[in-house]
Amino acid sequence: MAQRFGGKYSPGATPPPSGSDAPAPLSGRQVRRWTARLSLLSLASAPMLVAGILEIGSGDAVAMVSELGAFALMASGVWLTREGLKAEDAYLARAVARPPGTPRKIIGGVALGAGVALGAAFGWGIGLVPGVVYGALATAAHLLAFGLDPMKAKGLDDQSEFDRDRVATAVDRAEGLLAELTEQAARIRDRGIANRVERFAATARAMFRRIEEDPRDLAGARRYLGVYLSGARDATARFADLWSRNRDTAARDDYLALLDDLESRFQAKSATLIENDRSALDIEIEVLRDRLQQEGVRPTTNTE
């Protein structure tokens, strides 16, 4: 069983814990990949802002409002595109995923085109029809550069919708707890601790992948996805508060020891899940062999 993407980008998703609905732990690759193009989009909106500011003293209220409104639309388009890339990155990171509930990249492209049309037609006075044409071209160029949002669900078809949703909800919440844990660790401003937290997060996600592959593992791992992760988050928050007041190295050592213990527990549990899968396979093989023997089927051996 694998997971779908949930949180604020998916329709009908259960809201994760506070601060965990952004897909930060899973995203970043898409945004980094398109950083240059996003920067160019931001620069493209700057002339509208400058022109609108210059119009303030000219007395042309229509041009001023049009140009400032165009800048707001174009800047919104850039922001929506960035959020759409984050949602797409989280979608791509999961083996089973529903498409984002809001097509942010498409809406961002439309907002960008609307800004270009508004600024060109009424701000720079080139006319409505040419402005609409320029806006349509801007939208088309945006969609060509960044692509469309994911439009359909993906994943394994051999699991029931109930099992997919049950596991996906549990993993979504666990990802939210990891996001909060990472956020609290960032307050400590210690590269060693940040790296250690990321290593623990990778170990936890390895367990998530196991559960996604086989939903039967969820029952035995719920404590790890909930109690242990929430405890780790709370401990990290308390240590961050303590470290900001008093850089107690003994407390730092205790916190790192806690992460070591948690990682060992998660690794051991993941190994147990794998062993359980192997045991279940062995049982299925033995049952199949018994049935074949009852049917009078005997394995054949090749002799030289």
Half-sphere exposure of 141 (CA within 13 A, CB side): 15
pLDDT tens for residues 255-272? 999 999 999 999 988 888
d(CA 270, CA 220): 10
Q: By mean pLDDT, which of 55-59, 203-207, 220-224 is the weakest?
A: 55-59
CA angle, residues 106, 109, 111, in degrees to nearest 5: 110
Q: Which of 35, 34, 51 is nearest to 115 (CA)?
A: 51
What pLDDT is recorded for position 68?
Answer: 92
Tell whether the model's pLDDT for residue 64 goes beyond 70: yes
Output the six-digit token pair for 134.
């320029």
Please say whether the beta carbons of 203 and 266 come within 8 A: yes
- Percentages helix, strand, coil for the chain (3-state, rounded to 5) are 75, 0, 25
What pLDDT is recorded for position 5?
Answer: 41
Tell whether the model's pLDDT for residue 282 goes beyond 80: no
Residue by residue, DSSP assigns 49-82 as HHHHHHGGGTT-HHHHHHHHHHHHHHHHHHHHHH
What pLDDT is recorded for position 11?
Answer: 45
**Mean pLDDT value of segment 282-287:** 53
**Mean pLDDT value of segment 132-153:** 91
Per cent of the chain over pLDDT 70 is: 75
Band of pLDDT at residue 27, cut at 50, 70 and 90: very low
**Mean pLDDT value of segment 190-209:** 91
pLDDT tens for residues 212-258? 777 778 888 888 999 999 999 999 999 999 999 988 899 999 999 99
Residue by residue, DSSP assigns 221-279 as HHHIIIIIHHHHHHHHHHHHHHHHH---HHHHHHHHHHHHHHHHHHHHHHHHHHHHHHH
pLDDT tens for residues 154-191? 765 556 667 777 887 888 889 889 999 999 999 999 99
Tell whether the model's pLDDT for residue 210 goes beyond 90: no
